């Protein structure tokens, strides 16, 4: 099946972009994910009182640092790649250098950016020290964003079923800006029906690409950071469990049926695409191996070793998941994940860790 999207740059006409990959679901061959995992290891994160997080909504690995964002507590904690604490961004307030909300955050070579939609703007911090730099004004609404090359950024916003775009908001899902947040390109025009619901994280990224997915959808888009109008659309064919066209945009119809859809935004790491698929009220992690074209699944047996859906990937070919507390870790072990040593379990009583998957080449 060939689908099309449209990309539009200011001053030019519509540019058609054809989908280039369709993944059949469920997997036709019962190949377990574990056969493609080289090693799994835990990394303890240095325990600091100011680094305590309740949940990790978004994680970014950039060069020699790991950034963990807890949106409900308005905090971002930063570590180096061996788990040593670096600094924390925790500046909620109405004063200079403060934000009311962390809607999302992103990182480039020199800066960490915090998106605040309550007091609209983009707050800029030095990514080496966490020092506040400035606030940039925004002339549009955004719910998530990522950094591109050459100082550019990509933003997204969605409106819901029976809702309307603000008059000044461009009617596109993706807006690309220059370093001063001037819109220089618009991608993916909105459908008429709007989205059934929003999601916390619309973008994931690696060192070369940005991945974009909107809620209750069967496809996602991969953009090159250096050439973002070069779109690749990946679609999952859910067969009889595909969301019917008449259901799209209607939350109650989708969750009331037997529809499957992509839940969290996929994470792309070299030859692998990690995806979380929602089937009724169950979320399951799947891995697509690009060179072989195989969709890999976790074992169906209870209490068997499995791969959890990762929060992000790094530049070394690893998928990474945050373990924020002992309860979270215990749930993994009860579901079949291998138990760590006693020292690590003691650390999790008051600290956090990362679960790191190294994939086979």
Give pLDDT, residue 163: 74
Asked if pLDDT for residue 301 goes beyond 50, the answer is yes
Q: What is the spatial distance between Cα 130 and Cα 230, in angstroms, rounded to a whole number?
A: 33
What mean pLDDT is predicted for residues 188-212? 90
Delimit the domains of the chain by residue range: 29-359
Is the per-residue pLDDT at 309 higher than 90? yes
Tell me the backbone φ, ψ of residue 335, rounded to 5 degrees.
-90, 0
pLDDT attached to residue 28:
76
How many helices (H) and strands (E) the chain has is answered by: 3, 28
CB atoms within 10 A of CB 320: 19
| Structure-token pair, residue 98 | 């403060």
Query: Given the structure tokens 């220089």, which residue do they identify?
Result: 184
pLDDT, one tens digit per residue, over 228-246 is: 988 999 999 999 999 998 8
pLDDT above 70 coverage of the chain, percent: 94
Rounded-to-5 percentages of helix, strand, coil across the chain: 10, 45, 45
Q: Report the percentage of the chain scoring pLDDT > 90.
A: 72
Q: pLDDT, tens digit, for every residue of 56-82?
A: 999 999 999 999 999 999 999 999 999
- Mean model confidence pLDDT for the chain: 90
Q: Yes or no: say if 310 and 40 are a contact pair by the CB < 8 Å rule.
A: no
The answer regarding whether domain 29-359 maps to CATH 2.120.10.30 reads yes
* 124-182 pLDDT tens trace: 999 999 999 999 999 999 999 999 999 999 999 988 777 778 888 999 999 999 999 99
* Statement: residue 14 has pLDDT above 70: no
Q: In the prediction, which pLDDT does 137 show?
A: 95
pLDDT tens digit string along 232-289? 999 999 999 999 988 888 888 998 888 999 999 999 998 999 999 998 888 999 999 9
Q: What is the DSSP string of 188-231?
A: EEPPTT-BS---S--EEE-SSEEEE--SSBSEEEEEESSSTTSE
By DSSP bridging, strand 183-189 and strand 312-313 are unpaired
Helix (H) or strand (E) holding 327: helix 326-334
Length of the chain: 361
Strand order across the beta sheet in which 352-359 lies: 37-45, 352-359, 318-323, 312-313
Neighbours of 82 (CB within 10 A): 11
> Is the pLDDT at 13 greater than 50, yes or no?
no
pLDDT per residue over 84-132, tens digit each?
999 999 999 999 999 999 999 999 999 999 999 999 999 999 999 999 9
- Identify the pLDDT of residue 84: 98
pLDDT of 40 higher than 80: yes
């Amino acid at each position: 099946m060939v689908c099309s999207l449209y990309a539009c740059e200011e001053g030019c006409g519509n540019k058609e972009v054809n989908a280039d990959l369709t993944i059949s679901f469920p997997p036709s061959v019962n190949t377990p994910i574990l056969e493609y995992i080289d090693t799994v290891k835990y990394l303890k994160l240095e325990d600091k009182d100011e680094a305590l997080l309740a949940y990790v909504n978004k994680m970014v690995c950039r060069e020699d640092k790991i950034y963990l964002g807890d949106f409900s507590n308005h905090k971002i904690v930063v570590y180096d790649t061996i788990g040593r604490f670096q600094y924390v961004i925790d500046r909620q307030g109405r004063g200079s250098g403060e934000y009311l909300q962390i809607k999302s955050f992103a990182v480039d070579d020199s800066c960490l950016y915090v998106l605040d939609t309550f007091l609209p703007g983009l707050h800029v911090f030095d990514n080496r020290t966490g020092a506040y730099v400035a606030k940039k004004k925004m002339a549009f609404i955004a719910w998530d964003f990522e950094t591109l090359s050459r100082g550019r950024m990509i933003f997204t916003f969605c409106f819901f079923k029976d809702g309307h775009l603000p008059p000044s908001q461009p009617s596109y899902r993706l807006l690309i800006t220059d370093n001063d947040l001037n819109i220089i390109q618009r991608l993916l025009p909105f459908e008429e029906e709007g989205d059934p619901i929003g999601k916390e994280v619309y973008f994931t990224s690696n060192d070369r690409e940005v991945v974009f997915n909107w809620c209750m959808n069967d496809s996602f888009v991969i953009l090159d950071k250096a050439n973002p109008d070069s779109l690749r659309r990946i679609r999952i064919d859910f067969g009889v469990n595909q969301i019917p066209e008449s259901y799209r945009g209607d939350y109650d119809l989708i969750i009331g049926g037997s529809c499957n859809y992509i839940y969290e935004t996929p994470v792309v790491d070299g030859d692998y695409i990690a995806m979380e698929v929602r089937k009724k009220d169950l979320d399951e992690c799947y891995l697509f191996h690009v060179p072989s074209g195989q969709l890999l699944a976790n074992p169906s047996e209870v209490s068997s070793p499995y791969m959890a859906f990762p929060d992000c990937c790094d530049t070394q070919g690893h998928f990474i998941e945050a373990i924020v507390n002992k309860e979270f870790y215990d749930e993994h072990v009860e579901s079949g994940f291998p138990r760590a040593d006693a020292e690590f379990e003691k650390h999790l009583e008051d600290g956090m860790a990362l679960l790191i998957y190294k994939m086979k080449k």
